[in-house]
Structure 1
Amino acid sequence: MLPIKLEEFFPEEKLQEMNEKEIKILEAAIEIFAEKGFVSTSTNEIAKKANVAEGTIFRYFKTKKDLLKSIIKPTLVKTIAPFEMDRFSKAVFHLEYETFEDFLNALIKNRMEFAKKNKAVVKIIIQEMPFQDDMQEELKRLFKDKMYPKVATVLQSFIDKGQIKELPIPTVLRLIISTVVGLVISSIVLENTPFWNEEQETERTIEFIKNGLK
């Protein structure tokens, strides 16, 4: 299983509000949810992993679903998402790129590194996002407010240079995001298998996007 430390996902002030048992429960839940998925994980398994009684879990979280939300919402939506979006913006969109290919390289490298560093939570998000409407809406709002204006400006510059065909920005963005997200998911699902060569797959993904939008 993946070793989990809660400080990787929660801000220090949030951790200071928790006691040791609550922290152990959350660490165990992140690890097992990432490995087995929410539906296949029992609270008994989480309790054993956290070395607490099963009833202790329900002192802090009313249901298993509440435990999941306590991981996803504070971690991704309320803490990591805005922070990471700001950092992502500075790392990718505040730079100038000679070519669309240079931009794609920077974008994909940044997202792949993020996925590797936060693999457990990314796996949980991949598994549970389709079933969490409130989280979907919050992430859409964050993207619209924080990211879309910046990425639209960058993509329009490549259209103006003739490096991308003239398509509506939302269409260009959808095509890029769906392909890059597919690459990130594949890197997690196929890691350590004979079917995965990250460098080769990244190069092919860049060529695919570049040629498709040329």
Structure 2
Amino acid sequence: MSEQEWLKEIFEQGKKDQKVSEKQIKIIEAAVEIFSEKGYAAASTSEIAKKAGVAEGTIFRHYRTKKDLLYSIITPTLLKIVFPVVAKTFIKQVLVKHEDLSFDEIIRKMLFNRYNFVKNNTPLLKIILQEIAFHDEMKMQFQEAFMDHAYNKLIEVVEYYQAKGEIIDIPTKSVIRMVVTTIFGFLIMRFIIVPESEWNDEEEIELTIQFIMNGLSKK
């Protein structure tokens, strides 16, 4: 799938009832690149227009403000994460039928699932990380997405493995926090902070799993 086709797909996830023109796709494609490189505040609509090969006025015919343009990218991406990825793909591939797996196998599936997602969506993740601290509505969407679609299932999974005696009996929310922050810390380092380092991804993934399990396994 080309980047333009991928952008059109995520745009349509959030706006299935709205026609998306080729010019809009070009504008969004350019905005993703410039927002991820410079950040929202430093990017200008004139730069985006030039990159997209359209007049600046064309942007404002489709998006009233630069913020509207940002949210035309972020909102469908959130919907892509929440519905097809978290609610369907993530839970189905990682958490459903967890009884057949050990806890370290669950962690491995979770890590590979999120690794592939971030690898395929790095520019958008960079935009989200840059902007989420400054846009309360974006932060609220993420909190609601996590609480509504993943948190309860994660609680169920953690409590199952605690009852089996595979992991230590500490507060469930603490287990979830430790696992999530360790996995996303690795992914942010790998794809956002120092992507140019010489990464051995398979080795780093296994070391991350060992680190989590050493902290959570019953001795």
Same-fold call, TM cutoff 0.5: yes
**TM-aligned CA distance change 1:98 to 1:56, over 3 Å:** closer
How has the CA–CA distance of structure 1 residues 147 and 70 changed in structure 2, closer, same or farther, with 3 Å as cutoff? same
Counterpart position of 1:10 = 11
Instruction: Within 5 Å, give how 1:53-202 maps onto structure 2.
Output: 53-76=55-78, 78-85=79-86, 86-96=88-98, 97-189=100-192, 190-194=194-198, 196-202=199-205
**What is the CA distance between 1:58 and its match in structure 2?**
1.5
In the superposition, relative to structure 1, how do residues 204 and 188 fare at CA in structure 2: closer, same or farther (>3 Å)?
A: same
Q: What are structure 1's unaligned runs of at least 5 residues?
A: none
Q: Secondary structure at the match of 1:11?
A: helix
The 3 A distance-change label for structure 1 pair 110 and 88 is same
Q: Which of these residues, 196, 201, 211, is aligned with residue 208 of structure 1?
A: 211
**Letter of the 2:65 counterpart:** T
> In structure 1, how many angstroms separate the alpha carbons of the residues matched to 2:57 and 2:148?
41
User: What residue number does 1:37 align with?
Assistant: 39
* Cα distance between partner residues in 2 of 1:130 and 1:66: 17
Q: CA deviation at 1:179?
A: 0.8
Mean CA deviation greater in 179-188 or 120-129: 120-129
In structure 2, the CA distance between the partners of 1:3 and 1:145, relative to structure 1 (3 Å rule), is: closer
Structure 1 range deviating more: 107-116 or 91-100? 91-100
User: Once the two structures are aligned, what percentage of the paired residues are identical?
Assistant: 43
- CA deviation vs aligned residue, 1:90-125 (integer Å, no higher than 9, x gap): 000113343211111000000001111222212211
Residues paired across the two proteins, number: 211
> 1:132, CA displacement in angstroms?
2.0
For residue 82 of structure 1, what is the amino acid of its counterpart? F
**Which one-letter code corresponds to 1:36 in the other structure?**
K
Query: Is the 1:11–1:79 contact (alpha carbons within 8 Å) kept by the matching residues of 2?
Result: no
Given residue 184 of structure 1, which amino acid in structure 2 is its aligned partner? L
For residues 81 and 175 of structure 2, what CA distance do their matches in structure 1 show?
26
Any conservation in 2 of the 1:43–1:64 contact (CA below 8 Å)? yes
Please give the TM-score of this superposition, normalised by the length of structure 2: 0.87
Q: What is the RMSD of the two structures over their aligned residues, measured on CA atoms?
A: 2.1
1:160 Cα deviation after fit: 1.2
Aligned-pair CA distance for 1:192: 3.3
Give the Cα separation in 2 of the matches to 1:3 and 1:152.
36
Equivalences for residues 20-35 of structure 1 within 5 A: 20-35=22-37
Structure 2, unmatched stretches of 5+, are: none
Q: Determine the C-alpha separation between the residues in 2 that align with 1:107 and 1:87.
A: 11
Going from structure 1 to structure 2, the CA distance change for 1:119 and 1:172 (only over 3 Å counts) comes to same
- Is 2:36–2:126's contact at 8 Å kept on the other side of the alignment? yes
Q: Is the CA contact (8 Å cut-off) linking 1:25 and 1:47 kept in structure 2?
A: yes
Alignment partners' CA distance in 2, 1:99 and 1:33:
41
Measured after TM superposition, the shift of residue 169 of structure 1 is 0.9
Distance 1:187 1:95, change over 3 A: farther
